[in-house]
Structure 1
Amino acid sequence: MIAILCDSNALLEGYPGLAKTLTVRTLAQIMDLKFSRIQNTPDLMPSDITGTYIIEESGGKRNFKFQPGPVFANVVLADEINRATPKTQSALLEAMQEKQVTVGTQTFKLDLPFFVLATQNPIEQEGTYPLPEAQADRFLLKIAVNYPTYEQELQIVDRFTAESKDAKLKVMLNKNHLLTLQGLTRQVPIANDIKQRAVKVILATRQNKEVIQYGASPRASIGLILAAKARALMQGRNHVSNEDLNILAYPILRHRIILNFEAERKGMSKDDAIKQILDKVK
């Protein structure tokens, strides 16, 4: 939801069967937004995503008509994005960045609001094309979807074995509400000391050469502050707190830093490196 309020996109990484698709579909339904799903495979072509021209016969004449692809929706779920070829990934990333697609010589604007929520499976590497760092950087957040706890799994079992799967969902927002909330997100005040700490955290990823080989770009500073504003708005606060920064630094930075060989040899994770920075930068 934070990515949506920031008018941005999110990358969800988790094992199969953790309801990533259901979560995204449910979000689209309660916001009354058009939803589409792209199942990425190695043979998927850019035109399978953006759309293509087809020949239409009418009155003995043949005309070319544009048939929109699944990217023409408000919420697009790109399942297993790392299975698509780099060329196909680029077509989707143009839509994410520019809010438009180019087919042939013609450019088509996408309906707003527009979000891409992409998933990838961390355990399957064969036949995949990992997102290059420059492209992964275009996702605001990388969200780790973990297995549920014992209590959570009990609730899931009860709900899906005792109730109908087709539960009716109530629409909570519409497009206009969402566009208004996106504007309000940017208006949430942030104190200078909080803003300065956010930038220092990002700078520290470039300076911590003992652990990090490549740090985050200025896009991460913008993303961290904007995401912190969205979290504050969702919690009904008119200010950004250090807690917002501490919580959101992980999904903001996971896909934007690369650990060096020594850190990987010691078994350090990216989250460990981020925690180390947050503990140092006060």
Structure 2
Amino acid sequence: MTSLPVLGAAMTLDDVEIHRDWLFERQRDLELQSFVDASVLNGDWTPLAARARKLLDGHRGRLGIHGPFWGLTIASADPDVRDVVSRRHVQGIEVCAAIGATQMVVHSPYTTWSYNNLDNNPSDRGKIVERCHLTLRDAVKRAEDIGCTIVIENIEDKDPYIRVGLADSFGSAAVAVSLDTGHAYYAHGSTGAPPVDYYVNAAGNRLQHVHLQDGDGYADRHWSLGEGTIQWRSVFAALTKLESNPRLIIEIKDKAKIPASAAYLASLGIAE
């Protein structure tokens, strides 16, 4: 990135109603979070999709969604569970097709336990990758067909490289890497993982999406930017080295503070 990046945000459609002017004034990237629940995906979500298209008429920022994740793992060893998880992710990609979204966020399967135990049995690393392929193959194929990218977000990942390898294993432009700054900071503060900027460097140009949230290194706070202790200058110094132009998505609990979060990073001279 050669100039200051323009920040986007993660919102529900109700939040878009409130922050539409902020979103449109700079044509900011948007991640919709109205399609994560099974009750939505199993029901008739077409009215929600129609509402999204109407609200975003004239929006020229990049559009994505957060995919389903509640109670799901993309690496289940149970084939019946995998069938459900696979179907959920295909449903998410169908939402993307309906609203013109070009990115869907999914959760990494790697846990804190994984870090210490994946090499306990020689085949365990490969088994996780194999199960992820079985789970996501239909969603990846559909994503390829519609020009959408599935980005794998770190959750408990202590190793910043492991989900990068998972994304690469698909050998598809439709699978890339996401970074959640608060999750990385939790892993750093509570499990001994590297600092947040190391996660940026580990992903390199495979990084196509970033959740920006602040925290204290103890829990998944999703505080407004500037309310925690993440070293934002180091994070953005790492981001400036990339050519992949990742979507920089403010993802905080209090959506009313989205503009203030953007203003905070602007005050540091690192984003707009």
What TM bracket, shorter-length normalisation?
A: 0.3 to 0.5
Higher relative contact order (CA 8 A, sep 6+): 1
Q: Which has the larger radius of gyration?
A: 1
- Give me the TM-score of the superposition, normalised by structure 2: 0.33
The structure carrying a bigger strand percent of its residues is 1
- Give me the TM-score of the superposition, normalised by structure 1: 0.32
